[in-house]
Structure 1
Amino acid sequence: MCKVSIIMTSYNKPNYVGKAIEAILKQSFKDFELLLMDDNSNEDTQKVIEKYLKDKRIRYFRSDVKNISERTEKNRYAVQINKALSMINGEYISYATDDNIYKPKRLEKMVNFMKNNRKVKICYSSSCVLHLNYEGKLIKNVIRNAKNKLWVASCQVDHCSIMHKADILPIIYEKWHSYWDEDPQFYLIGDARFFWRLNHFWPFYPINEVLDVNYIMETSLHTQIIAEEKSEFIKRLPKQRTCWELRKYLKNLGSDR
């Protein structure tokens, strides 16, 4: 049993995944497990990951997905996260990706916030978003501030910036028969869809401090989807659902929650 279960999804980012793993392993708060969910990445990525697998806190799972048809029939990172959520041991759940870097005291500060606010089920922090070009040079720097309690968190918060209690999971599963929505219509806004589910029951409470850094590159999914020239992967995805419809629905719930 551990205090925090961290779920990291990984796919073909050999230049970043090592930094993401190291940032977690070097956390000031040590009582955690890292479920590293790799979606059958290329050899270069596997070589980087293998360097860290001797750490007993890491539980490594590699999928056997092989082709584009398999990758587009479901939201793959939702599939990977759902698998991990069925195996977690922690009291608290946090998320990471292979291009997201935790600040050294991220877990410590979030766990302390949850301990000091026992009625809170979900918290989120401010985050820094760095947009990089193909050469890896910074082209834009955005700070997502965490100032307000959110009943409409979809598309305002990234899943790498949240922590929630594990005891909310049975409630989500009972209502939707899954945790994250695996429908490929939500490939672009998978975390927003998960937050839509959470906000049916609980608000997100803010920690107004930057506790993670998120890298958005030309190869990132969000960038690929809005690019003029679409990859074969993007062409095979169904029409994507929107933030607007999720947020409108939650706003209409109003005081009914």
Structure 2
Amino acid sequence: MNIIFCTSPFQVLVAREVAKYTGEKFFGIYLKMSNDNRQKIYAEKMKEFCEDTLFIDNKEWVSELREKLANIKIDKFYLASLDNPVAHMIFNPNFMRLFTFDDGSTSIISPNMYTRYTDRVVGPEDITLENVINLSNGHYTIFDTNTVFPTEKLIKIPFDTKPDDFLKVTNGKTVKVFLGQALGNYVDEKDIKITEKLTRKALEEIGNTLYYAHPRVTVNVENAETIQSDKCFEEEIYDLLSNYENAEVYGFYSTSLLLVKDIPGVSVRCFRTFLTTNEVKILGEYGVESIDLPLSDTAVDIIMPVYNREKTVGNAIESVLNQTHKNFRLIIVDDGSRDGTEEVCRKYLNDERVIYHKVLHGGISRALNAGISLATAEYIARQDSDDEWMPWHLDFLLNELEQNDKLDIIGSKVDADRNKLQGGIKRNNFNNLSGEELWFKLAYKNMFNHSTVIYKKSAVEEAGGYDPECDGFEDWHLWARMVTKDNALVMNTLTAYYGLPEEDDKGMIFRSRLAKSRGLRLEDVLE
């Protein structure tokens, strides 16, 4: 006899396929993880492929399990939730062989909770997550690849949720469906509001949609018919296709999009938000098309001064055009470049949001002031021609600005190591810098990175703009005149790549730029 342990309706569907594939006998355990109706319903479904089952929803389960398994030898333990403490109370590596199976999006999207912090203890006798992964004798998967287990451990199994009595209609009707999902932390009040706002915007864009609410996510929507289904969508889709010839399925990054996309009559698309750029990129690799969904609709003008940067300016422009935020103009001010910079920039002028303005060479401050004079939006964002924004940059910072009308300027963090910027946005709610602390530190050190800054045009003009006599530390000089004790914020979240032109001179160029930003010569730093 084997034990198969589930904690979600989706896991039950995969467990059913595991039972079919192996042909072995199973004792099924379902651990209740929430209060939605599907928990009990799918626990009952385990009886269809298990000899006996146990539904864990109280503290009496230990004695119940002991009674049910009395005189029964357990050979294998099948687990999807690799770090579940209840599962590890039951699993005994000394007497049972471990096998694993898919736990939803963690199979294809990385980083995830099983690829991070693998040295953490997840069970008795200090067993770590890494130990669990290594103990698995094989991982049963419905996908072609896996983020957690090596290829040699993967056992590909079919995944079929079509009912035996399914009859597809041919009535020409189409239904639009949106799959609800939490974005960010589903218990954080700010993230709940973000999820609600983005969900409403998505539903408005789709129009005339059935909203399939996630059982653990409460979102108040008024522009769609809400469906509370007791089925996983992988099964629900066949009920829809019994009434509609075609189904257009939308969502953020639900695994269901992948699992229904090849069903005849079904098309799928996902929405790319500032919180889901990594997930959507991965879904794209599986053939799921995406639609950009900005959190903010605030207009912003982006000023990019450039001088002889033919090798890097293209990537800088691409990073702007790749933002999830869309309501912007990119004002490129060419400070009299003599290389191929102009030719590179002009390739992007077919996008009406891109403006190219060439001036006589006069230095970065004059170029910046020229850009400010061309700006018409309330907010101005700064971008350097050798740096690159991450797709979430504008949406993330504009959302913060919109929450605090006292702010005149906001910035974030950069890094010259691309590896630290992989895997989507990693918001850090600790060690943000603002108020008197920021105002005080700014007297001794430039606390803003120029390429991450967004400021109010009116505040910069009131401060007198950039001083051409201060090229090299023009930004720091402006902040010193502009920042007060309550109008500035530096977010401790990475949103930009700090580009260094020549690979062999990275260290020296970085020191040189850092020295200039502090009003020093490179020689002063090296002494």
Q: TM-score, normalised by structure 2?
A: 0.35
Could you tell me which of 494, 503, 506 is aligned with 1:210? 494
Query: Cα offset for 1:203?
Result: 4.3
Q: Structure 1 residue 242: deviation in Å?
A: 5.2
Normalised TM-score (structure 1): 0.69
* 2:468 maps to amino acid: E
Using CA pairs below 8 Å that are at least 6 residues apart, which structure has the higher relative contact order? 1
- Of 398, 409, 412, the match for 1:111: 398
5+ unaligned residues in a row in structure 1: which ranges?
Answer: 66-70, 132-144, 174-178, 228-239, 245-257
Rg bigger for which structure?
Answer: 2
Q: Hey, what's the Cα distance between the residues in 2 that align with 1:164 and 1:170?
A: 11
What is residue 181 of structure 1 aligned with on the other side? Answer: 467
Partner secondary structure for residue 331 of structure 2: strand
Decide whether aligned partners of structure 1 residues 119 and 182 sit closer, same or farther in structure 2, where only a CA change above 3 A counts: same
Select between 116-125 and 192-201 the one with higher mean Cα deviation: 192-201
Is the alpha carbon distance of 1:49 and 1:123 closer, same or farther for their aligned partners in structure 2, counting shifts above 3 Å? same
Report the 3-state secondary structure (helix = DSSP H, G, I; strand = E; otherwise coil) of the residue aligned with 1:155.
coil
Aligned identity (percent) is: 24
How much does 1:214 deviate?
A: 1.2
**Residue aligning to 1:51:** 347
- 1:128 matched to 2:415: yes
Matched, 1:194 2:481: no
The 4+ residue runs of structure 1 with deviation greater than 4 A are 200-203, 224-227, 240-244
Q: Is the 8 A contact 2:408 2:459 kept in 1?
A: yes
> How big is the alpha-carbon RMSD for the aligned residues of Structure 1 and Structure 2?
2.8
Partner of 1:91: 378
| Counterpart residue number, 1:135 | none
- Corresponding position of 1:20: 316
Report if the CA contact (8 A) 1:146-1:209 is conserved: no
Q: Distance in 2 between matches of 1:122 and 1:191?
A: 12
Change (3 A) 1:129 1:224: closer
Q: Which moved more, 1:29-38 or 1:202-211?
A: 202-211
Q: Match of 2:451, SS?
A: helix
Cα distance between partner residues in 2 of 1:103 and 1:119: 26
Structure 1 pair 203/47, CA: closer, same or farther in 2 (3 Å)? same
Mapped contact 1:124–1:146 kept (Cα < 8 A): no
Contact map agreement 2:460 2:482 (CA 8 A) in 1:
no
Could you tell me which residue of structure 2 aligns to residue 164 of structure 1? 455
After TM superposition, list the pairs within 5 Å mapping 1:36-75 onto structure 2. 36-65=332-361, 71=362
Partner of residue 387 from structure 2, selected from 100, 108, 126 = 100
Report the residue type matching 2:433 in the other structure.
Answer: N
* Alpha-carbon contact 2:384-2:450 (below 8 Å) kept: no
Any conservation in 2 of the 1:122–1:202 contact (CA below 8 Å)?
no
Deviations 1:173-204 (A, max 9, x none): 3xxxxx00110xx2221111111111257542
Q: Distance in 2 between matches of 1:32 and 1:122?
A: 17
Alignment of 1:5 onto 2:292: no
Counterpart amino acid of residue 148 in structure 1: L
Please name the residue that 2:331 is paired with: 35
Quick one: distance in 1 between partners of 2:517 and 2:455?
25
In structure 2, the residue matched to 1:235 is: none
- Give 3-state SS (helix, strand or coil) of 1:197's partner: helix
Partners of 2:305 and 2:455 in 1: CA distance: 17
Letter paired with 2:397: M
How many Å apart are 1:209 and its aligned residue? 1.1
Q: CA deviation at 1:43?
A: 3.9
- Kept in 1, the 8 Å contact 2:302–2:330? The answer is yes
Contact 2:382 2:450 in 1 (8 A): yes
- Helix, strand or coil at the partner of 2:468: coil
1:147, distance to aligned residue in structure 2 (A): 2.4
Which AA in structure 2 matches 1:171? E
